[in-house]
Amino acid sequence: MSGLKTRQSFDRRILAFQIGSLLILLMLTARLIDLQWIQHEALAQQAEQNRVDIVPILPTRGEIVDDDGRGMAVNRVRFQVQMIPERVGNTNQALSALAIMLHWDADTVRRLRQRIAHARPDRPVLLDDKLPWRTVAPLAARLHHFPGINVLAGTERLYPYGAITSHLLGYLSLAQPEDIDHGAMSNELVGRSGAERSFDTQLRGKPGFRREEVDAHGRRVAVLGRTEPQMGNVLKLSIDMDVQKAAWKALGNRTGAVVVMNVHTGKLLALLSKPGFDTNHFITGLEEKEWGAWLHNPRKPLLDRAIQGAFPPASTFKLITALAGLRYHAPLASGTTECKGILKLPDRTLHCWKHVGHGRIDLRRAIYESCDIFFYKLGDQIGMADMMAEARRWGLGKRTGIDLAGEVSGHLAGARPEAKRQLWYKGETMITAIGQGETDVTPLQMARFAAALANGGLLLKPELRADTPPVVQSRVDVNPANLAFVRQAMRDVVAKIHGTAHAWLYNSPWHVAGKTGTAQVISEIQDIQGHESPVFDRHRDHAWFIGFAPFEHPQIAFAVFVEHGGHGGSAAAPIAAAVIRTLAAKEAREKKEGAPPTQAAAPLSPHA
Amino acid sequence: MNFRWRVLDLPMLICLLCLAVLGSATLYAAVHQGDIALWQRQNIHWLFGIGIFVLMCVVPLRVYALAAWPAYVIALIFLALVPMVGVVQLGARRWLNLGLFHLQPSEMMKWALMLLMAHWFASREANRLKPLSIALAFAVVPAALIFTQPDLGTTLVLLFATTAMLIASGLPWRWLAYAMILALLSAPLLWHHMHDYQRMRILSFLNPQSDPLGAGYHVIQSTIAIGSGGIFGKGYLQGTQARLHFLPEQHTDFIFGVLAEEGGLIVAMLLLVLYGILISRILIIASRAHTRFGSLVCLGIASIFLIYIGVNIGMVSGLLPVVGVPLPFISYGGSALVTMLAALGVVMRVAIESENKVPWQRPGSPLL
C-alpha cells in the first residue's frame, strides 16, 4: 500500500464529509424554518385559497304584480338535467333511456353524444334545460337507477301577459362584463328595458354564497358554510291589467299607444304600445331570426310608442292654442269668425277638414267641432312664441321623467336647432296652431297634459309604482275660468251632437271630456321626403283622442294614439270608450261588493 | 460461526427502523384516498429489501471488490442499450424492459460506478494525474450517456457522487477548486445542449411564479404544503394540500410535502435528524473500516444518500430545480428502496468485517 496517505489525511477527509453533511442538513433546516415558521401565515392562507371555493347562490328575482296583485312577471320553477360522464357506467345506454323519458329525438341524442364526447368527464354536462315538472317527474322518481344523472331545479322568468306588457316590463338577459363590474353575478339575469331595467336593483336581491372545499381538479369535496341569498323584492305597479288588456283588445291589430293616468296621483293605469313582442322569447333563448324579424318589421314592434314615439299632436293641440288665446286675450278667443272651409294666404292655401265650412263660429264650437280655419286665425293672432310658451307650460316637448329608459322629448315648433328663428311664415304659424307642422309629442305627454287639465293645472310625474307618493312637477299658472271654459268645450266634444267624438262616447257610463286629433300624414311625408312610400297604410292619418273622465269628478286622464288609424273620432275614441267602460264596470262591481276587489287569479298560473 | 449481535451497528439499525415506520406512515397518508394497494406493495418492498439487506450482510467484502468491474461493465452495456431498445416514459428514454420489470440502468450505474471507484482507489491515491484521469473517464462515459437520455438530474447526482468519491480518495483541494471554476465557465455550453423542458425547469426554478400553472406549479404547491404545515403540522391525514391533491406526485418525489404539511416542522426535523444520524453512522463505520476499499464504499454510499436527501428536500422546498430524485426510505418505489437497503447491507458488512480488527488506518482516530 505504498503511496497511500496516512490516517490523518483520510480522517480529515471523513471529518470534512461529516461537516459537509451537517452543513447540508442545516441548510435544509434553515429553509424549513423559513417556510414553516417565518412564511407560515402567508402560505397557510394560500393553502386555504386553494381548497376553499366561494360559489354564489343567485337570489330569486322579485315578481312584478299589477295594482290588484296579479302577476305580470313571475318566476316559474324549471328543471335541468345534467350528466357527469365519469359516473355513468354506459353513456349510450343512459342516453337512450333518458331519450325515451324526456322525449328526445334522434338528432338531439346524437348532438348530446357529441357534447359528452368533447366534455370533461368529471364535470357536469347539460343535457336538457327548462323542463316542466311533469316532464322530469318520471325521471326524478327513478333517479337512483341513473347514477351520474342529476336533476336541478331553477327558476325561469315568465311574463303571463306576453306582448301586452312587453314595453312596460321589458326583458332580461345574462349579465355582461359591465354589469359584472357593477356587482352582478356572471350567470345572473339583468333587466335590459322597461320596469325590469328601471327597478333592477330592488328586483334582483342580493346573492348568497356557499363556501365549498374543492380538490385540485375542482371537484367539490365538502360544503363548509352557506350564506343565504336575499330574495328580490316584489314590485307592485300601479298598472291595472284589466285596463291594459281592454286597451290592447280595443286597438285590435292596429298600431298605436294608450296611456291611462290617475289625474290626482299621476299613477299609470295602462301604458301600452302595439304591436308588442313576446318577452318570454328573450328568456327562453331568442333566435336571431326572430330578433331580426322584429327589428326589420315595418310596424316596429320594438318601439315603445307611448314614450319613445313622437308624433304630430294634430287637433289635440288646439287645446293649447285655445288656452294661449285665452291667456293672452287674443281678440278671436272672445269673438267669432267665418269658416268657409278655405283660407287663402300669399304663400299657400289652407283648408278646413270640413270643406263646406263651419259658418260663423266661436272658440267653444271651434274646439268641439274642431274647426281648422278658426284656429289658423287664432294662432295667427297669438303668434308662434306665445303658442309655444303655452305648450311648454303644459309639459309638451320635454321628457316627463317616467322611470323608463329611452323616453324621448318630442319637439315643439322652433325648438329644433335648425329651426331656431324669429321670423315665421304666416302659414307655418297657422298650421302649428292646429298641431301640424314641426311639433311632435309623445302619447305620455298628452296624457299628462289631459290629467293637468282635469286636476286644475298640476303637472304630475307619471308613476309606475303603486306605493310611492305622487310627485308634482309643476303647477301651471292658469286662470280657473279659462280652464273651466276649455274643459266645458272638451265635454262638448262628446256631449254635443256635432262634437267630433259624440258618436262613440255619448252613451259612455262615465261622462267623458276629450279632444280628437287627426294628423295628416300624406302631405307631411310628401313635403319632407318628396316621394311616396310604397306601403299604403303609411299614408293614412294618425288618430288621436285625449281627455279625462268622469267630467264632474275627474279620476283618470287618457291619451289614445293610433298610427295611421284614420280619423281621431272613429279610430281613437272607441278605444278610450273601451277603457272607460272597463273602469266604470270595475267601479260598479266594487260598489256592489262594498269592498276592494279580491286578488283575482292571474290568467296563467304563475307557478306551473 | 460464532455470530455476535453486537457486531451490528445498533444506532444505524434503530435509525432504519424509525425511518421504516415514518416512511410507511407518510406513504399511507399520501395514498390513503387513492390507490391503497401502493402502500401495501411498498410494505412488501420493505420486507423484500430487509431480506436483501441481510443477504448483503453475509457476503464477504472481497466479493464486492471482485464484482466492481463486472457490475460497471454490465451497467454500461445496459446504458448503451437504452437509446436503442429503451422504453419511453414521460418524454425521456430511460428504462429497459427486462420482462419481469423495467430497469433504469442509470440508477444501477450510480452504485456500480461508486463500487468501481472504491475498488480503483483502494490501492491508488487521487493526487496523481494518471489514476485520476482514468477514474474520471469511468464517470464521464456513463454521465454523457445519461445526459443524452435525457436525464439531467441523474447526471448531476452521478457527477456529485463522483466528486465525493474523488475527495475521499485524496483529490487535492486545489484541483477541486480548479475543476469547479472550469465547470462554472462551461455552464453556458451545457445550457446550449439542454432540452427545452430542462431549461424550462431551471427557469421556473429561478422564478416559479412566472409559470404558476405549468412547470412552476409543482414547486409552488409543495412550498405551500410545507409552509402551511407550520410548526406542529395540520395533523395526520389532515393535510389539505395532500388530501385534495394540490400536491403533485405526492407519493413519490414530493412525498416530503405530505410529511411536512401534516407533521409540521417537528416531524420534518425528526426526519432530518434521523438522516443525520444514519449518515454519521455510515461515516463512522467508514473510519473504522479494516480496509481502504470498505472505507471508500461507505463514503460513497453516504454521499449518495446525502445527495438524494439534499436534492429531494431542496427541490420540494423550492431551493433547487425539479430533479426526479426519491426521498430515501420515504418515497414510493420498490427498486430504489431495495437498492438503498442493499447499500446499507454492504455498509453493515463493512462494520462486521471490521469487528475487533485494526482499521487500515492506525488506531487513535479522533472520530472514534
Question: What does the pLDDT look like over B162-178, one tens digit per residue?
Answer: 999 999 888 888 998 99
CB atoms inside a 10 Å sphere around CB A174: 12
Task: Indicate whether A215 pLDDT > 90.
Answer: no
Q: 175-214 in A: which are within 8 Å (CB) of B? A: 213-214
The distance of A47 to chain B (nearest Cα, Å) reads 6
Please return the burial class of A300, using the count of CB atoms within 10 Å of its CB with bins 0-12, 13-18 and 19+: middle
Show the low-confidence residues of chain B (pLDDT under 70): 1-4, 89-93, 99-100, 201, 204-215, 360-368
pLDDT for the residue numbered A159: 92
pLDDT digits 0-9 by tens, A348-403: 788 888 888 888 999 999 999 999 999 999 998 988 888 999 999 999 999 999 99
Comparing CB atoms, the residue among A16, A18, A44 nearest residue B228 is: A44
Helices (DSSP H) in A383-442: which residue ranges?
Answer: 384-393, 426-433
Start-to-end Cα distance in chain A: 101
pLDDT > 90? residue A187: no
- Write the residue in B228, B245, B269 that is nearest to A215 by C-beta: B245
pLDDT band at A421 (very low <50, low <70, confident <90, very high): low
C-alpha cell at B10: 445498533
What's the Cα-to-Cα distance from B278 to each of A190, A307, A503, B281, B328, rounded to whole Å? 68, 89, 114, 5, 11
Across the interface, whether the CB atoms of B230 and A37 are under 8 A apart is answered yes
- CB within 8 Å of B208: residues ≥ 6 apart: B216, B219, B220, B223, B318
Confidence of residue A321 (pLDDT cuts 50, 70, 90): very high
Of A27 and A80, which is predicted with more confidence?
A27
pLDDT, tens digit, 9 for 90 and up, residues A475-521: 999 999 999 999 999 999 999 998 898 989 998 899 999 999 988 87
Nearest partner of A516 among A567, A563, A557, A555, judged by Cα = A567
Kindly report, residue by residue over A567-603, the tens digit of the pLDDT. 888 889 999 999 999 999 998 998 888 655 444 433 4
- A218, pLDDT greater than 90: no
Whole-number pLDDT of residue A535: 43
Residue A134: which region, alpha, beta or left (left: phi > 0; alpha: psi -120 to 50)? alpha
Catalogue the E-assigned strands of A263-323. 268-274
Of A200, A206, A203, the C-alpha closest to A228 is A206
Q: Any residues with CB less than 8 A from the CB of A347 and at least 6 apart, and which?
A: A425, A426, A427
Model confidence at A3, in pLDDT bands (50, 70, 90)? very low
CB contact under 8 A, A47 and B228: yes
Cis ω for the linkage preceding B150 (within 30 of 0)? yes
What integer pLDDT is reported at residue A532 of this predicted model? Answer: 44
Mean pLDDT throughout A138-154?
A: 86
List the single residue in B226, B244, B362 with the smallest CB-CB distance to A7. Answer: B362
Q: B299 and A14: CB-CB below 8 Å?
A: yes
pLDDT at B208: 62
pLDDT at B366: 40
Residues of chain A contacting residue B164, judged by C-beta atoms under 8 Å apart: 17
User: pLDDT tens digits, residue range A243-252?
Assistant: 999 999 999 8
Residues of B in contact with A11 (CB under 8 A): 287, 361, 365-367
- Interval A264-284: pLDDT, tens: 999 999 999 988 888 887 655
Assign B25 to helix, strand or coil: helix
Q: Is A19 on the interface with B (CB under 8 A)?
A: no
CB B178 within 8 A of CB B127: no
Residue of B121, B244, B307 to mutate for A, most A C-beta atoms under 10 A: B244
| Residue B248, pLDDT score | 86
**pLDDT value at A185 more than 60:** yes
* Pairs across A and B, CB distance < 8 A: 158
Determine the pLDDT at residue A266: 93
pLDDT for A568 equals: 81
pLDDT at residue A608, rounded to an integer? 33
How far is residue A61's CA from residue A156's CA, in Å, rounded to a whole number?
9
- Cell output for B141: 462515459
pLDDT at A602: 39
CB contacts of B304 in chain A (<8 Å) are none
Read off the C-alpha cell for B321: 430545480
pLDDT of residue A511: 93
- What residues in A contact B309, CB-CB < 8 Å? 24-25, 28
Cβ distance B341 to B53 under 8 Å? yes
Q: Between B255-288 and B217-229, two packed helices, what is the crossing angle to 10 degrees?
A: 80
Cα maximum dimension of chain A: 151
All three cell numbers of A359, joined, read: 259658418
Place of cell 319632407: A528
**Residue numbers in B near A5 (CB within 8 A):** 125, 170
Q: Could you tell me if residue B232 is left (phi over 0), alpha (psi between -120 and 50 degrees) or otherwise beta?
A: alpha
Minimum-distance CB partner of A7 among B283, B313, B365:
B365
* Pairwise CA distance, residues A291 & A287, whole Å: 6
Query: Rounded to whole angstroms, what are the CA distances from B296 to B119, B152, B282, B289?
Result: 8, 26, 11, 9
Say what the pTM is: 0.69
Query: Which among A22, A36, A48 has CB closest to B264?
Result: A36
Q: What is the pLDDT of residues A521-557, one digit of tens each?
A: 754 443 344 444 444 444 578 999 999 989 999 999 9
- Contact across the interface for A33 and B227, Cβ inside 8 Å: no
* pLDDT value at residue B361: 59
- Identity of residue B34: G
Among the partner-chain residues A10, A29, A215, the one whose CB lies closest to the CB of B272 is A29
ipTM of the complex: 0.92
CA dist., res. A77 & res. B63, Å (int): 82
Q: Say which residues have a Cβ less than 8 Å from residue A222's Cβ, sequence separation at least 6.
A: A212, A213
The residue that leads in pLDDT, A243 or A418, is A243
Q: Identify the pLDDT of residue A419.
A: 52
Q: How far is A213 from chain B (nearest CA, A)?
A: 9
CB < 8 Å to B367, chain A: 11, 14-15, 18
Calculate what percentage of chain A has a pLDDT beyond 70.
90
